[in-house]
Amino acid sequence: MQVTGMDYDVVGKYADNFARLSETFKRVSKVLQAAIAILRASAFMGSFGSAALARYLSGIKPHIDRLAATCAEFESDLRVAIRTHQEADAAAAGEVR
Q: What is the mean pLDDT of residues 57-74?
A: 98
Closest alpha carbon to 68 in 14, 27, 16, 34 = 27
Q: Once rounded to an integer, what is the mean pLDDT over residues 32-41? A: 95
The pTM of the full predicted model, rounded to 2 decimals, is: 0.83
Positive or negative: CA dihedral 35, 38, 40, 43: negative
User: For residues 70 and 62, what is the distance between their CA atoms, to the nearest angstrom?
Assistant: 12
Comparing CA positions, the residue from 83, 65, 90, 70 lying closest to residue 12 is 83
